[in-house]
Amino acid sequence: MTPKIARFLAQHQPATPCLVLDVDRVEENFRALRNALPLARIYYAVKANPAPQILQRLVGLSSHFDAASIEEVTACLDAGARPEAISFGNTIKKVSAIRQAHERGVGLFAFDSREELEKLAAHAPGSRVYCRIRVENAGADWPLSRKFGTTIESAKELMTEAATLGLDPYGLSFHVGSQQTTTQAYEAAIGKVAMLFTDLTEAGVNLRMINLGGGFPTRYRDEVPGIDQFGNAIMRAMTEHFGNALPEMLVEPGRFIVGDAGLVAAEVVLVSRRDRNDPVRWVYLDIGRFGGLAETEGESIKYRITTPHDGTRMGPVAIAGPTCDGADILYEKTNYRLPLALKSGDRVELLSTGAYVSTYASTKFNGFAPLAEYYL
Amino acid sequence: MTPKIARFLAQHQPATPCLVLDVDRVEENFRALRNALPLARIYYAVKANPAPQILQRLVGLSSHFDAASIEEVTACLDAGARPEAISFGNTIKKVSAIRQAHERGVGLFAFDSREELEKLAAHAPGSRVYCRIRVENAGADWPLSRKFGTTIESAKELMTEAATLGLDPYGLSFHVGSQQTTTQAYEAAIGKVAMLFTDLTEAGVNLRMINLGGGFPTRYRDEVPGIDQFGNAIMRAMTEHFGNALPEMLVEPGRFIVGDAGLVAAEVVLVSRRDRNDPVRWVYLDIGRFGGLAETEGESIKYRITTPHDGTRMGPVAIAGPTCDGADILYEKTNYRLPLALKSGDRVELLSTGAYVSTYASTKFNGFAPLAEYYL
């Protein structure tokens, strides 16, 4: 928790659940990544948190932006981003979205299939395009691989055709999975994509760029490697494969930029035992999987939780949300322990929840309003 | 699809994704359940779909209401429900919510733990309360059991204390799980709860009610037993255990009342193959798990899908949503087949999506707005 957030919580005691985020920390994280990878252009993954306060701060830092939808393109433009600084990075786009983005000056698009390439050729002619390759997601707490990316063979064919279709075959991309905790994942993916890059270049395709995706982790319960370690590993792999002829490099961080900048303030609604002698207490919070904490699905992302009783005796707990939905359980199998003194009405904080929380919140599931948001 | 919905879609071609629901079908379902279980009072589970048009129609039919939050209590009152017709059925309630509901005249509350019972005694004194017992959820496609309900022993203790605390120990409840496809689940649960009911009555606790919960299924891909079969099985079990001294009976249907009254109109955004020879096509729709179809988690609820090419040659597909989230996959393991002619821009319908869709939709994940809703 940053001092600014601590002061805000103490002074305002805002109604819960709410997200409180320190925009200065966003800037610090952005600068840390820029220092760790000075040769890469940073495209902030807007989906991690599209708050105007964040986008405006990043525009001021000359960030680029990775948009998942025409609505996110618009949010970036509204925050002052130039269209040239925006990549439409979703490989699944409606024709109407492609056309609108193209009209507004966006000229960089992702794809991973023939149909999408043909849509881009028809509705965003002349644009720079990059093809997403499927790579291993081992080591990622929130993997992506089954849904996105194509094979080396298919990418080769499609990138070769792109110029014929009137598009600019600009580069290749991959994504090693979100909350990726190993640097090796990037090294292996770079090796795979570099071979294709060389093959295509030798075949006469004018490739200039490799998009390394995002996935850089935030610290939750467990330690993760620092951003410098990722920067070093990536540069080592790039140099190994490309020598001095480095292509342009893009990265698309989301979680790393905003994750540890925010926290969710919540309230304990109920503490119960199934039976008098059951050692496990069920702790029900006023936010759950459908109130924004969607990444606790499968207990994937394990948030740190602070309580007013920290330092006193602890016992095992299962932690759940406030809805009548049986799937609204945050942690039951993971070994969470919370103070025995915890009770209904206590305020708690879920740390490092600045990314992938506010936008996941349901509109009104069980009647509960989406969580409030404060940007400091 | 009802004729009214078909006419609306043909005339208006509404922008997708959207939910279109025929309120007359809601009324038909309500009447069918009332005929199948004439001795039970129907408490509509508002969380299934809290649209004012639905609540108002049900108020006109003298329905009762099961509310999951103070916001849902308010929605019922706004639709014209009397406070006496409302049960606050969530066993996890903030003190502020209990107090507000009590002030507005709600006098019936669920609980399943000591702490909640004490909160009710303090903030809704004199209210009728019922204790939720944990029962088997086998046979349910969307089970609930781990999160809710207490043991027979614990329920016995708490119900005995309720009167001492100034509350009215009105009854017992259970829930066999949502989309429950077997009538046996109700019979087994009734047997278990009836024993406790008798024990408590003999011990001098003035119990009068059994709340049978909800769970009655909607037809998705597979056939399900008709509502009359559930009614018959329930009455047989109740008579077996209580003879002529039947307690009051409550049911809390949600899905059964609104599920098949609505459909989601969606658009195909992309059809792609991972590789030229891959027989499986990936079909991406403009609605996915975070746009409202949350119950496809684990491929639990399997919606029927109609396309403009139905009747032509089919092939295997995986089906996913439009976001950049790797978890936004509807069906990959389930054997779905769709026409080979399906392509980007085609309009499709997901049938029987009137329940548990509109409210699950995220506020703006990946920038996508929640689905529009039309009530006919």
Residue A240 Cα, gap to closest chain B Cα (Å) = 29
Asked whether A74 and A285 are in contact (CB, 8 A), the reply is no
Nearest residue on chain B to A146, judged by CA atoms? B326
**Distance (Å) from the C-alpha of residue A344 to the closest C-alpha of chain B?**
8
Among B343, B317, B357, B333, which residue's Cα sits nearest to residue B50? B357
Interchain pair B271, A320: CB under 8 A = no
Q: Which residue of A lies nearest to B355 if distances are taken between CA atoms?
A: A365
**pLDDT attached to residue A233:** 97
Report how far residue A257's alpha carbon sits from residue B161's, in angstroms, rounded to the nearest whole number.
Answer: 53
**Distance from C-alpha of B135 to C-alpha of B361, rounded to nearest angstrom:** 30
Collapsing DSSP to helix, strand or coil, A60 comes out as helix
CB-nearest partner of B365 from A94, A345, A359: A359
Picking from B144, B147, B179, B319 by the largest number of A CB atoms within 10 A of its own CB, the best residue to mutate is B147
Determine the residue type at B70. Answer: I
**CB contacts, 8 Å: A70 with chain B:** 367
CA-to-CA separations, B129 to A131, B66, B118, B214, in angstroms, rounded: 60, 14, 11, 18
Reported as a pLDDT band with limits 50, 70 and 90, residue A140 is confident
Residue A277 predicted with pLDDT over 90: no
Query: Residue B142: what pLDDT?
Result: 81
Of A94, A273, A320, the CB nearest to B147: A320
Instruction: Give the Cβ contact number of residue A187 at 10 Å.
Output: 18
Residues of chain B contacting residue A363, judged by C-beta atoms under 8 Å apart: 358-359, 361-363, 370
DSSP A168-228: EEEEEE----EEE--THHHHHHHHHHHHHHHHHHHTT----EEE----PPPPSSS----HH
Q: What three-state secondary structure class fits A357? A: coil
**Nearest by CB to A50, which of B148, B326, B367?**
B367
Listed residue (A211, A146, A219) closest to A177, CA to CA: A146
- For residue range A192-228, list pLDDT tens digits in order: 999 999 999 999 999 999 999 999 999 999 999 999 9
Give the number of other Cβ atoms within 10 Å of residue A7's Cβ: 11
Q: pLDDT tens string for chain B (376 positions)?
A: 899 999 999 999 999 999 999 999 999 999 999 999 999 999 999 999 999 999 999 999 999 999 999 999 999 999 999 999 999 999 999 999 999 999 999 999 999 999 999 999 999 999 999 999 999 888 888 877 689 999 999 999 999 999 999 999 999 999 999 999 999 999 999 999 999 999 999 999 999 999 999 999 999 999 999 999 999 999 999 999 999 999 999 999 999 999 999 999 999 999 999 877 889 999 999 999 999 999 999 999 999 999 999 999 999 999 999 999 999 999 999 999 999 999 999 999 999 999 999 999 999 999 999 999 999 9
Which of chain B's residues have a Cβ under 8 Å away from the Cβ of A346? none
CB atoms within 10 A of CB B206: 10
Name the E strands within chain A.
18-21, 40-45, 64-67, 86-88, 108-111, 128-132, 140-142, 168-173, 178-180, 209-211, 248-251, 262-273, 281-285, 305-306, 314-320, 329-339, 347-350, 372-375
Min distance B367 CA to chain A CA atoms (Å): 5
Range(s) within chain A of domains with CATH label 3.20.20.10: 50-253
Contact call for A275 and B89, based on CB within 8 A: no
Contact A159, A118 (CB under 8 A): no
- Preferred mutation among A71, A147, A267 to probe B, highest tally of B CBs within 10 A: A147
Could you give the angle at the alpha carbon of A188 between the alpha carbons of A182 and A192, nearest 5°? 155
Q: Where in chain A is the domain with CATH 2.40.37.10?
A: 260-375
A-chain residue closest to B270, CA distance: A92
Query: Which residue of A44, A92, A157, A287 is the best one to mutate when testing the B interface, meaning the one whose CB has the most B CBs within 10 A?
Result: A92
Residues B94, A267: C-beta atoms closer than 8 Å = yes
Name the residue among B147, B271, B326 with its Cβ closest to that of A329.
B147
Contacts of B147 in chain A (CB under 8 A): 282, 320, 326, 328-329
| CATH, domain A260-375, list 3.40.50.300, 1.10.630.10, 2.40.37.10, 2.120.10.30 | 2.40.37.10
Report ipTM for this prediction: 0.94
Residues of A in contact with B154 (CB under 8 A): 274-276
In chain A, % of residues over pLDDT 90: 95
Name the residue in chain A with its Cα closest to that of B321. Answer: A92
In this model, does residue A276 exceed pLDDT 90? no
Looking at residue A145, its pLDDT comes to 67
Cβ separation A359–B360 shorter than 8 A:
no
**Which of B47, B50, B65 lies closest to B142 in space, CA to CA?**
B47
Q: What is the DSSP letter of A150?
A: B
User: What CA–CA distance (Å, rounded) separates A149 from A277?
Assistant: 51
Q: How far is B339 from chain A (nearest CA, A)?
A: 16
- Taking the CA atoms of residue A150, residue A152, residue A154 and residue A158 in that order, the dihedral angle to the nearest 10 degrees is 100
Residue B251: Cβ within 10 Å count: 28
Name which of B47, B361, B365 is nearest A366 (Cβ-Cβ). Answer: B47
- Count A/B contacts: CB-CB distance under 8 Å: 216
Query: What backbone phi and psi angles, to 5 degrees, belong to A62?
Result: 60, 30
- Whether the per-residue pLDDT at A42 is higher than 90: the answer is yes
Select from B92, B95, B141, B278 the residue whose CB has the most chain A CBs within 10 Å, as the one to mutate to test that interface: B92
CA-angle at A100, arms to B10 and A130, nearest 5°: 115
The distance of B45 to chain A (nearest Cα, Å) reads 10
The fold of A50-253 is TIM Barrel (3.20.20)
Nearest to A92 among B150, B322, B343 (CB): B322
Contacts of B137 in chain A (CB under 8 A): 326
Q: Is B362's CB within 8 Å of A359's CB?
A: yes
Q: Are A213 and A174 in contact (CB under 8 A)?
A: yes
Residue A78, burial from CB neighbour count under 10 angstroms (0-12, 13-18, 19+): exposed
3-class secondary structure per residue, chain B: CCHHHHHHHHHHCCCCCEEEECHHHHHHHHHHHHHHCCCEEEEEEHHHCCCHHHHHHHHHCCCEEEECCHHHHHHHHHCCCCHHHEEECCCCCCHHHHHHHHHCCCCEEEECCHHHHHHHHHHCCCCEEEEEECCCCCCEEECCCCCCCECHHHHHHHHHHHHHCCCEEEEEECCCCEEECCCHHHHHHHHHHHHHHHHHHHCCCCCCEEECCCCCCCCCCCCCCCHHHHHHHHHHHHHHHHCCCCCEEEECCCHHHHHHHEEEEEEEEEEEECCCCCCCEEEEECCCCCCCCHHHHHHCCCCCEECCCCCCCEEEEEEECCCCCCCCEEEEEEEEEEECCCCCCCEEEECCCCCCCCCCCECCHHHCCCCEEEEC
**Distance between CA atoms of B107 and B64, rounded to whole angstroms?**
13
A263 has a pLDDT exceeding 80: yes
B-chain CB neighbours of A344 within 8 Å are: 95, 115, 119
Q: Which residue numbers of A are catalytic?
A: 324
